[in-house]
Chain A
Amino acid sequence: MATKDKKKITITNKIAESLKEDISYGRIIGGEAIIERKIAERFQASNIPVREALRILEGEGFIVHKKFSGYSVRRINPEEMVELYDIMNYLSGQLLSKGIPRYTELTYHRFRTLIGEMEKSKDTNKTVSLLIEFTETAYIPAGLNYSLELAMQILTRNIPILRGMVEKIYKGTSPTQFQRHFIELCQQKETKKAIDVWNDEFERMTKNFVTIISNYKP
């Protein structure tokens, strides 16, 4: 039973990962319908792992589900990016201005470990999850649980955007100058400057990505 469970999880993950790749590399385009039966045939799997895989993709924002029409690939439009940017910018400001003065040696240690891993990572997935972890580490000390939950939820539900940014702007590996500069400013108790650096980088990434998706023609 346990073995069977494990196997099922692996098939689900395999399907999910492979669909994510297809979406990220444009093999399945925004708006395109996802047909469960076809996926089941392609992976020679039953509908149970297929549905589970689709639910994972929905949770991470790769696909959307609509009544009657089923699953389709989420279309990321520039307007939505601007909305996301506004909300994240606000939440970051709240979380960092309360958080930075509370950073301890432990926080900085965690930052340095993550930067080390980022420099080694050649894999987009890994880089994205490290960037999310770095962000979470920066946000937690504020003690604003509700804002933290909201910010993390927004990040984890927009993985395709983060992936797109890492791939197209960072070319897979995150340059860590920004993170190093941010930490330095925090250690010098330059909270305001640190927040500016954080938000500037975020703005730069968003603007570049908006340009990329605006010019993208499938």
Chain B
Amino acid sequence: MVIKKKKESTTSNKIADSLREAINYGTLKPSDKIIEREIAEKYQASHIPVREALRILEGEGFVVHRKFAGYTVREVNPEEMIELYNIMRFLSVQLLNRAIPRYTEITYYQLKTIIAEMEKMQDADKNIDLLMQFADVIFSPAGLNFTNNLTKQILKRNIPILQGVIRTVSKGSMPITAFNHFTELCQKHEIENAVKFTIEQLDVVTKLFVVYMSESRKAG
């Protein structure tokens, strides 16, 4: 029973991985329909792991599910991006203002470790993991569990956007200088400046990505 379950989750993970890749490399385009039967045939799998894979992708924001229409590749539009930006800005300010004064030596050690790993990492997808870890380290000292969980959930559900941002705005690598600068400001107890800097970065990245999205939309 245990073995069977393990095998099943591997099949669904494999299918999820390969669909994610197809979406990332544009083989599957935004608003393309995903037909469960076809995927099951392609991977010679039953519908159970296929559905599981689709549910994983839905949770990460790669696909959306609609009644009657089934699964389609999620289409992120510029308007939604601005909405997300507004929410993330609000949440970040709430969290950072309370969190930064509570940073300890351990926090700075964790931040430096993550930044060092980012510098080594060439894989954009792995960088997303590191980015989320970074977010968790800078936000959680606030002690605002509800707000922090909400922020995590928003990041987790928008992985394609984060990937798109990293790929188009910073060409696959992470903006290490920005992360270092933020850490320095916090260490100097320049809380206001550190928060301001974070918002500016968020603002720049969003604007660039919105421009990119609008252009690629026009290009069709």
Q: Do A and B come from one complex?
A: yes
Contacts A86-B94, A90-B90: A144 and B144 contacting too (C-beta < 8 A)? no
Most interface-central of B94, B144, B146, B147 (chain A CB within 10 A): B146
The A/B interface has a contact count, at CB < 8 Å, of 32
Which residues of A (77-107) have their CB < 8 Å from a CB of B? 80, 83-84, 86-87, 90-91, 94
Q: Does B84 contact A (CB under 8 A)?
A: yes
Interface residues on B, range: 10 to 19
Are B83's CB and A147's CB within 8 A? yes
Q: Does A216 contact B (CB under 8 A)?
A: no
The number of residues on chain A lying at the interface, defined by a beta carbon within 8 Å of a beta carbon of chain B, is 14
Contact for A80 among B80, B87, B145, B154, CB less than 8 A: B145
**Residue numbers in A under 8 Å from B146 (CB-CB):** 80, 83-84, 87
Q: Does A146 contact B (CB under 8 A)?
A: yes
- Shortest beta-carbon distance from B156 to chain A in Å: 13
Are B80's CB and A146's CB within 8 A? yes
Are A144's CB and B83's CB within 8 A? yes
Which residues of B (57-96) have their CB < 8 Å from a CB of A? 80, 83-84, 86-87, 90-91, 94
Given A91-B87, A146-B87, A150-B150, output 11 extra A-B contacts at Cβ < 8 Å: A80-B145, A80-B146, A83-B146, A84-B146, A86-B94, A87-B90, A87-B146, A146-B80, A147-B87, A150-B87, A154-B150
10 interchain pairs, CB-CB under 8 A: A83-B144, A83-B146, A83-B147, A84-B146, A87-B90, A87-B147, A91-B87, A144-B83, A145-B80, A146-B87
